[in-house]
């Protein structure tokens, strides 16, 4: 009985619907936008303005306030005069240089990081990260070419995911050893002070882009390692969906907080038919959403909040996104044939 209102609303809508195509869906007004499209717009916006990379640079680059905000995404200090830096950069920078001040510098950035992550979880990854958009674009290109993605079996995905924690540990331990007196690694201070700076594919990807549009001097140093990893990034992200997100150290810092984030992926197990579509469309190869039979909480530490599962779930209201208990988005059945069947 509780859903009668919804159905009646649906019938009124359908009675007004002109085309037979629109009638096909049968369960109420279609959500005009796919979450996928909203996300793409946000990503482009974030890349251009939020991360201050291309257009935003001259506007924000000189602000003294903005440049001390450290974001959970955007992995390094890779832009000359970039307004925002990544927390991971700040962590390395402080840990190797601030042994004497007991890392006090790190408190505020980490607090901001924790607060932002608790607010939005890993939503940064799918919605704002400058490495997210290139991965999604490569996926679109691959689909256009008709090439199937490389499937990562769940047990392999777990293994790959643990690599990112190892990466964070090694990097932080190394920077700690650089700064701590007992290790005598002062010699490395000039050679490799903030290691991730050397590896980060962002650097090769965007500094070259900045040079091309004249935002950075052509003499800017780009580490060879970063170029190599960027090439690896292109290759793997073309073959597998969001491969970088599986191993990203910045993601590893956010992952443990993803469970407690205020943005939650919710499931109503009573509405689930266990059709496995959510697993099939998940770029992070998360089985939990499909397998859950009792609990409502299905946010996993791997989840980057792209909501492909919510977009594609064919059961009305089975999957939803909640913020502080308020429902923001919900799954709704609609016929793929109404979308022109491209699915891209």
Interaction site with another protein (CB under 8 A): 1, 3, 7, 10-11, 14-15, 20-21, 23-27, 143, 146-149, 153-154, 269-277, 280-281, 293, 308, 312, 314, 333, 335-338, 341-344
Name which of 274 and 327 has its Cβ closer to another protein. Answer: 274
Least Å distance, CB 287 to another protein, is: 10
Helix (H, G, I), strand (E, B) or coil at 85: strand
d(CA 17, CA 21): 9
On whether the CB atoms of residues 86 and 75 are closer than 8 A, the answer is yes
Least Å distance, CB 42 to another protein, is: 21
d(CA 95, CA 93): 6
Name which of 74 and 277 has its Cβ closer to another protein. Answer: 277
Least Å distance, CB 205 to another protein, is: 25
Name which of 28 and 83 has its Cβ closer to another protein. Answer: 28
Name which of 67 and 149 has its Cβ closer to another protein. Answer: 149
d(CA 200, CA 86): 12
Which uninterrupted H or E stretch holds 263?
strand 263-267
Name which of 325 and 341 has its Cβ closer to another protein. Answer: 341
Q: Per-residue DSSP letters for 312-339?
A: H--STTTEEEEETTEEEEE-----GGGG
Q: What is the dihedral of CA 154, 124, 244, 264, to 10 degrees?
A: 0
Least Å distance, CB 44 to another protein, is: 22
On whether the CB atoms of residues 251 and 233 are closer than 8 A, the answer is no
Least Å distance, CB 314 to another protein, is: 5
d(CA 33, CA 214): 36
**Which residue intervals of the chain are DSSP H helices?**
4-16, 20-23, 35-45, 56-60, 87-97, 107-120, 123-127, 132-144, 154-179, 188-191, 195-199, 201-212, 224-239, 243-247, 249-254, 277-281, 288-291, 308-312
Least Å distance, CB 153 to another protein, is: 6
Least Å distance, CB 337 to another protein, is: 4
Name which of 74 and 298 has its Cβ closer to another protein. Answer: 298
Name which of 105 and 316 has its Cβ closer to another protein. Answer: 316
On whether the CB atoms of residues 286 and 300 are closer than 8 A, the answer is yes
Structure tokens at 241: 């969906």
The position carrying tokens 């007992």 is 182
Name which of 53 and 272 has its Cβ closer to another protein. Answer: 272
Least Å distance, CB 31 to another protein, is: 15
Name which of 105 and 338 has its Cβ closer to another protein. Answer: 338
On whether the CB atoms of residues 200 and 77 are closer than 8 A, the answer is no
Least Å distance, CB 270 to another protein, is: 6
């Amino acid at each position: 009985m509780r859903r009668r209102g919804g159905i009646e609303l649906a019938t009124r809508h359908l009675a007004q619907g002109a085309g037979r195509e629109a009638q096909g869906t049968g369960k109420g007004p279609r959500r005009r936008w796919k979450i996928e499209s909203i996300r793409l717009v946000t990503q482009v916006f974030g890349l251009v303005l939020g991360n201050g990379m291309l257009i935003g640079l001259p506007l924000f680059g000189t602000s003294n306030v903005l440049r001390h905000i450290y974001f959970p995404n955007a992995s390094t200090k890779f832009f000359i005069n970039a307004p925002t830096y990544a927390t991971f950069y700040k962590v390395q920078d402080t840990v190797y240089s601030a042994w004497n001040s007991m890392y006090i510098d790190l408190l505020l950035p980490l607090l901001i990081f924790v607060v932002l992550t608790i607010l939005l979880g890993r939503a940064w990854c799918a919605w704002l990260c400058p490495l997210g958009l290139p991965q999604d674009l490569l996926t679109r290109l691959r689909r256009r070419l008709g090439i199937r993605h490389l499937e990562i079996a769940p047990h392999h995905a777990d293994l790959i995911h643990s690599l990112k924690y190892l990466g964070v540990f090694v990097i932080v331990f190394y920077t700690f050893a650089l700064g701590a007196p007992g290790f005598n690694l002062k010699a490395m201070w000039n050679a490799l002070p903030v290691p991730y700076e050397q590896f980060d594919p962002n650097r090769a990807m965007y500094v070259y882009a900045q040079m091309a549009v004249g935002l950075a001097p052509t003499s800017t140093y780009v580490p060879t390692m970063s170029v190599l990893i960027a090439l690896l990034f292109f290759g793997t992200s073309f073959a597998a969906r969001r491969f970088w997100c599986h191993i990203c150290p910045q993601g590893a810092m956010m992952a443990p907080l993803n469970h407690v984030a205020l943005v939650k992926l919710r499931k109503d197990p009573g509405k689930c038919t266990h059709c496995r579509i959510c697993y099939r469309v998940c770029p992070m190869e998360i089985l939990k959403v499909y397998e859950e039979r009792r609990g409502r909480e299905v946010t996993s530490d791997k989840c980057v909040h792209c909501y492909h599962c919510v977009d594609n779930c064919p059961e009305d209201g089975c999957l939803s996104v909640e913020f502080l208990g308020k429902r923001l988005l919900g799954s709704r059945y609609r016929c793929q044939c109404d979308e022109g069947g491209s699915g891209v």
